[in-house]
Structure 1
Amino acid sequence: MHTNLVGRAHEVVADIPRGDAATLDLVVLVGGAALFLGASVWRSIEGRGRAGSALSALQSTGLAAAFAALAYQVRAGGLLTGVDPAILGWFTAHRSDWVTGPAIAVTDAGGPAGTIIVAVVIGVVLSRRARSPIPALILIGTVGAAALASTLTKSVVGRDRPPIVSQVLLETDHSFPSGHATGAMALFMMAAVMFGHALPSARRALLLVLAAAVTVVVSVTRLYLGEHWLTDVVGGILLGGLAAVIGGALYTSWMDRARVRGARSPDENITTDSGRRYPTTLGRAA
């Protein structure tokens, strides 16, 4: 089944007229990025109001469109891939022993095993605070779904890795999108959203900035070590961001429903020293 689906996807992509689709593809990519940014700015102004679900849908649509357009660019060898060799050459020309060691450590920690371990640990912490397994399931499910989507996309696009001579750590599987960038973006953005759910907007923004910074560091190590092209890590960030937006919307929806249930069940409330009452199903704010 998997082989048939991948084969059919290859046929569909191959049947698209490359010249005729190039301009439309770029328009879709730019339009998708603009839609995501616009919805994100609007959401930062509106906060978590009634428009939250609609804005999440717009963010998801924008990221999905941008990712699909970039995947086509990579598959078709489009204009955007022209910068990849220059970026790879710059990183390989600026390697040094004191950077290579830490870069390998970061890329090892950001691999599949490291990502799973961190996701489980963060999920356990969030679930203990919420007194429910749902936060852990949402977090681990989001990261897992992002990893699966990355693997399937690699098979469909079928892009080769950078030349072996450029790689510090030999990897021979398909290249687009970067699994490290996908996993880091999905994991750390979801953690920022979940830990910052009940915090003031300034602190939520700080958590998101920190999550983005960690993702960039992991992504840059993949370029520095010659394991990926620039468009690979950009694609991974887009895909991981898409997973985080969807997972964040699920978590926000669950938290809102849990808060309503707690408010309707006085017996489940606890009284703090300050006299305020909180639902025990939520525990501390996650």
Structure 2
Amino acid sequence: MRSEPPVVRAGLAVLPLVPAAVLAAFVSAGWAPLRALDRVVADRLHEVAHAVPALTTAMVWVTNVFQPTVFRVAVLALVIWLARRGQRRAAIWAAVTMIAGGVLGGLLKLLFGRARPDFLDPVAAAVGYAFPSGHALNSALAVTIVVMLFGNRWLWWSIPLLTALSRVYLGVHWTSDVVAGLLLGVAVPLLTARAFTRTRAAEPAGQR
């Protein structure tokens, strides 16, 4: 495991932000093709949710197990573990990243004020605005932090993907909501790691 936040190239750090920004612009403008795609996917999955109760129950479990609070607590435990091992800078980076991502997600929800999908016979309910998905964002944040500190394990990425799928399947988010959440969840750790790297490089050698 690395004892410092990973070094990230500037180009890599902003890469996920480009599609996220484009998606946000389309949502803000109410771009008809995106709205149509979101609606079609939502309607089809809603039909499946009613037709396959067992799968719907499984998705409810997934969305409850992988809720934002779970990932926040997991990262808090990681921060405490890192600090106790003397890896203070990595601990601070992980904490700052999780907090920054959560704040960003909340602000964007208020900024866009996007309504969630509505159905006459919903299979699940959620409160608050839709864009971006907090479940998708927080799961991607936590997994990206773990991957950047411990090294890539492709199985880890199944967690945010499954979490995002559960939100659309249950009809509480549009597809574009969860895609934006996943992109931002990857982008924020890359950006904070870049910032920490630049700060580290600017420090006098005796303070490192």
* Shorter-chain TM-score above 0.5: yes
Q: Quote the offset at 1:250 in angstroms.
A: 5.2
Unaligned runs of 5+ in 2: 1-6
Amino acid at match of 1:66: P
The separation in 2 between residues aligned to 1:211 and 1:173, in whole angstroms, is 28
2:138 is equivalent to residue 183 of structure 1 = yes
Going from structure 1 to structure 2, the CA distance change for 1:77 and 1:68 (only over 3 Å counts) comes to same
In 1, Cα distance between the equivalents of 2:63 and 2:95?
20
If asked which structure has higher relative contact order (CA below 8 Å, sep 6+), I would say 2
Count how many residue pairs are aligned between Structure 1 and Structure 2.
198
How far 1:256 sits from its partner (Å)?
A: 9.1
- 1:145-184 aligned at under 5 Å gives the runs 145-165=100-120, 167-184=122-139
Question: Residue 92 of structure 1 contacts residue 224 of structure 1 at CA under 8 Å; is this kept in 2?
Answer: yes
CA distance in 1, matches of 2:150, 2:196: 11
CA distance in 2, matches of 1:123, 1:166: 42
- Residue 91 of structure 2 is matched in structure 1 by 136
What TM-score do you get using the length of structure 2 for normalisation?
0.83
Cα shift at 1:63 = 2.4
Quick check: 1:63 aligned with 2:16? yes
Provide Cα deviations, 1:131-179, integer angstroms capped at 9, x if missing partner.
1333222112211111111111111111110004364332231101101
The question of 1:244 aligning with 2:197 is answered: no
Equivalent position of 2:45 in the other structure: 91
Q: Give unmatched runs, 5+ long, in structure 1.
A: 1-51, 197-203, 265-286
Partner of 1:269: none
SS at match of 2:16: helix
SS in 1 for 2:126: coil
For residue 124 of structure 1, the aligned residue among 80, 105, 113 is: 80
Which SS does the other structure have where 2:120 is aligned?
A: helix
Amino acid of the structure 2 residue aligned with 1:102: A
User: What letter matches 2:111 in structure 1?
Assistant: V
Q: Which has the larger radius of gyration?
A: 1
Q: Normalising to structure 1: TM-score of the pair?
A: 0.62
Preserved CA contact (<8 Å) 1:138 1:250:
no
Structure-2 residue corresponding to 1:227: 172
- Percent identity, aligned pairs only, is 26
**Structure 1 vs Structure 2 CA RMSD:** 2.7
